[in-house]
Structure 1
Amino acid sequence: MKIYKRIFLVLFVVFGWCNAQEAKIKETFLDRVADQYEYLYHNSIKFLDTNKPMPRTIVNGELHSVSIYDWTSGFHPGSMWNLYKLTNNTEWKNRALYYTKLLDSLQYYTETHDLGFMIGDSYGNALKYIDNQDYEKVMVQASKSLSSRFKPKAEILQSWNTNDRWQCPVIIDNMMNLEMLFEATKISGDSTYYNIAITHANTTMRNHFRDDFSSFHVLDYDIDTGNILKRNTAQGYKDESAWARGQAWGLYGFVVMYRETKDIKYLELANNIANYINNHKNLPEDKIPYWDYDAPVSNNTPRDASAAAITASALYELSTFVDDSLKTSYVNRASNILKSLSTETYLAEVGTNEGFLLKHSTGHLPDNSEIDVPINYADYYFLEALLRQHNLKTEN
């Protein structure tokens, strides 16, 4: 009996030490992440007195900020909300509130489909931590503004405004704006927003995906008949290729669709997109994709850390909806992505990278824009993935 007691004591001490070490490593890592974002915060407050208060990326070696009307404007306050949850530091909450309120007027803006990013990631995250009816009203009004872009005959939400190339362009990115519509229905009780989200998702599911579950980037619709006029890309390698961030948007969007509706067809599609990404022959060993899965690969082919971060965050949530075997697989895939993103190759040293967390994202390569640079949405989804990883470990 004494021997068993000794063995138990040794195991208790060993496992206790391991858990303590793991906690210490985690705390040190989060400290580093928070310190770097602290640097970004102080580096970017100089823009608050301008009409471009939101840090977005680096251009010509310098921090580049954008106006509240830029589609990425919600990611900076959103990252602060994620940091508040990760660190329990109320300073991040206060800063997040300040930057969130800068976006108040966007609730009435009807010239973009990206209100889900802009308002959902700012005010939507605020509502996770603050019970505020005024913020709820912003979410509902923003959803009303977004819904003005719904084309009932074509059964889609129009993405970009009409131009010489497209009559009614719809991009796979638009799946990311539907979450806000679901929240608006929960707040208001008005099912209009819920029904628009489902209608748009079903049309996207029917038309945007190829047989291998990769996605086109841009579809052009006839708004009167719903007929597809063109299948193109804007930011990918070519029309028939699989633009990396687009595949991540699709995965994330249909995970949200299953969460909100529990319709099995959305879960099946999300699983198929996840498998397409994971099994692609051009996916590098470190799981950080090239900017397009079908782009020619060489030593100079840009990666897209943002696509990897979005994928990791989506996989963590997807793991909560599947059986144990798939759950383990998805958690491992997401954790391997985060492990790569947390290496010195992708995670910036404190005081560098103008304060952004991740390096090596690609925004719009065909337009020669934001190639191999940090971008604010990469940081947002990286922090969200870290938060989801933490929540899964806590639940288990």
Structure 2
Amino acid sequence: MPGPEQAKPADTPAPAAAAQQNNVWKPAISQALEKTAAMIPYFEGKSYPHVSDKSWKYKKESYNNWTAGFYPGMLWLSYQYTKDEKFKQAAEQATTRFKDRLKNAGLSDTHDLGFLYTLTTAAQWMAVKDTAAKQTTVEAADALLKRYRPESDLIQAWGKKGDKNNGGRIIIDTMMNLPLLYWASEQTNNEAYRKAAISQANKTLKYIVRPDNSSFHTYYFDQNNGQPLRGATHQGYKDDSTWARGQAWGIYGFALSYRYTKNEEYLEASRKMARYFIEHLPPDQVAYWDFNVPVLADTPRDSSASAIAACGVLELLGHLPKDDKDRAYFEKFVNDSMTSLVNHYSTKNDPDAQGLLKYGAYNVNNKEFNQHTIWGDYFYLEALMRLDKGLHGYWYE
């Protein structure tokens, strides 16, 4: 299968309303819905996709991974878009096991609870007003709040409390888990969730976002007193490089933090990180896996990073005035990048491929790239549905 380096750059449409793009978005959504529907009997609500194998098929995995919520999230989006009961039934079946997952101490002690429960039980509450799902989502926020370390004023990303290597470590991915805390604060009137989320956002903005608006993947602090130590990477090219997916998490995460707090610093962080992302893209507007990696013929792309960034910029656009100086610039990026994803990275012409997007990259350092990634599929679908009908997913009500 030819790689994306052999594809022609996508046509560059002028900034346009979604209606002018119906010839691109609607067929892409139709194809994505067909692929999503075909996953239902394959997974049967008992297993969850993570990344694909070399045959472009997803492996059947348990709900242990941080990614288990994305497939149910796709089902909930599909139901809200179509009102087709088959998607609703499959979404409920795939979501119901998450209540049991929360009872497992080994699986509930993670910073990824936002990814896991925002797209499952929160989605169920928002889509069909299931009160039991709402209660489970609050309990997930309680579990995430336990990851907050007051002595260092941060939400610990990995490891147990006191872990020598990870005890004072934050990662940019956590920005996308904060909506769970903001939402819980609004639902319960408990400010503890909101305060922890704001502390994490502030720390991320001050230390992970660099002066040139690029980002570290991760940052270390003294876990006893919160003193900053150093920036580093886990999945990027090197410690001082800019991992593309991390930059995308920042664009979307800060825009969502602005939605909940109206802190202008978060909106500006999203804007500036978006400009950095766009300014460092190749001609076809789909990111390589790291913005500092040497670009060769076989350098991996990360289509998932571009799908996340498109969602983030669409969220950002929703907060900018109509006459904002950057509006046309950001609209052009979304149209260009999403058109490129549809025409050159999607599986619309590949009936044997199971996922929606090709050329995702999980962890290039571990040789995991050129694959479907379920989070890439989710954000691609969310971006298309935002463009077509304004469906924004479940990061807020």
Q: Common fold, TM-score beyond 0.5? A: yes
Pairing 1:58–2:52 present: yes
- 1:223, CA displacement in angstroms? 1.6
* RMSD over aligned Cα atoms: 2.2
Larger Rg: 1
- 1:30, CA displacement in angstroms? 2.6
8 Å Cα contact 1:113-1:157 kept in structure 2 = yes
5+ residue gaps, structure 1: 1-18
- What is the match of residue 276 of structure 2? 276
Letter of the 1:361 partner, please give it: G
Pairing 1:132–2:127 present: no
- 1:270, CA displacement in angstroms? 0.8
Letter of the 1:102 partner, please give it: R
Which deviates further from its counterpart, 25-34 or 207-216?
25-34
TM normalised by structure 2 equals: 0.87
- What is the match of residue 144 of structure 1? 142
8 Å Cα contact 1:106-1:142 kept in structure 2 = no
- What is the match of residue 266 of structure 1? 266
SS state at 2:58 partner: strand
Which deviates further from its counterpart, 287-296 or 81-90?
81-90
Which deviates further from its counterpart, 127-136 or 324-333?
324-333
Which deviates further from its counterpart, 191-200 or 25-34?
25-34
5+ residue gaps, structure 2: 1-17, 392-397
Letter of the 2:71 partner, please give it: H
In structure 1, how many angstroms separate the alpha carbons of the residues matched to 2:20 and 2:236?
Answer: 43
- 1:344, CA displacement in angstroms? 4.0
In the superposition, relative to structure 1, how do residues 21 and 323 fare at CA in structure 2: closer, same or farther (>3 Å)?
closer
- What is the match of residue 88 of structure 1? 83
- What is the match of residue 172 of structure 1? 172
- 1:349, CA displacement in angstroms? 3.1
SS state at 2:59 partner: strand
Aligned length: 367
In structure 1, how many angstroms separate the alpha carbons of the residues matched to 2:19 and 2:199?
Answer: 49
Match of 1:159 among 157, 160, 163: 157
- 1:70, CA displacement in angstroms? 0.7
In structure 2, how many angstroms separate the alpha carbons of the residues matched to 1:364 and 1:164?
Answer: 24
Equivalences for 1:1-396 in 2 at 5 Å? 27-45=26-44, 48=46, 53-61=47-55, 62-108=57-103, 109=105, 110-161=108-159, 165-280=165-280, 283-324=281-322, 325=324, 326-349=326-349, 351-353=351-353, 355-368=354-367, 370-392=368-390
- 1:194-242 per-residue CA deviation (whole Å, 9 max, x = no partner) reads 1111111111111111110111011122121101233210100000000
Letter of the 1:365 partner, please give it: V
SS state at 2:50 partner: strand
In the superposition, relative to structure 1, how do residues 346 and 284 fare at CA in structure 2: closer, same or farther (>3 Å)?
farther
- 1:164, CA displacement in angstroms? 5.7
- 1:136-187 per-residue CA deviation (whole Å, 9 max, x = no partner) reads 1111110110111101121110001055644422111011100011111122
Letter of the 1:357 partner, please give it: L
Letter of the 2:241 partner, please give it: S
- What is the match of residue 15 of structure 1? none
SS state at 1:230 partner: strand
- 1:271, CA displacement in angstroms? 0.8
8 Å Cα contact 2:37-2:87 kept in structure 1 = no
Identical positions, percent: 31
Letter of the 1:29 partner, please give it: A
In structure 2, how many angstroms separate the alpha carbons of the residues matched to 1:125 and 1:331?
Answer: 27
In structure 2, how many angstroms separate the alpha carbons of the residues matched to 1:149 and 1:196?
Answer: 10
TM normalised by structure 1 equals: 0.87
In the superposition, relative to structure 1, how do residues 201 and 114 fare at CA in structure 2: closer, same or farther (>3 Å)?
same
- 1:60, CA displacement in angstroms? 4.3
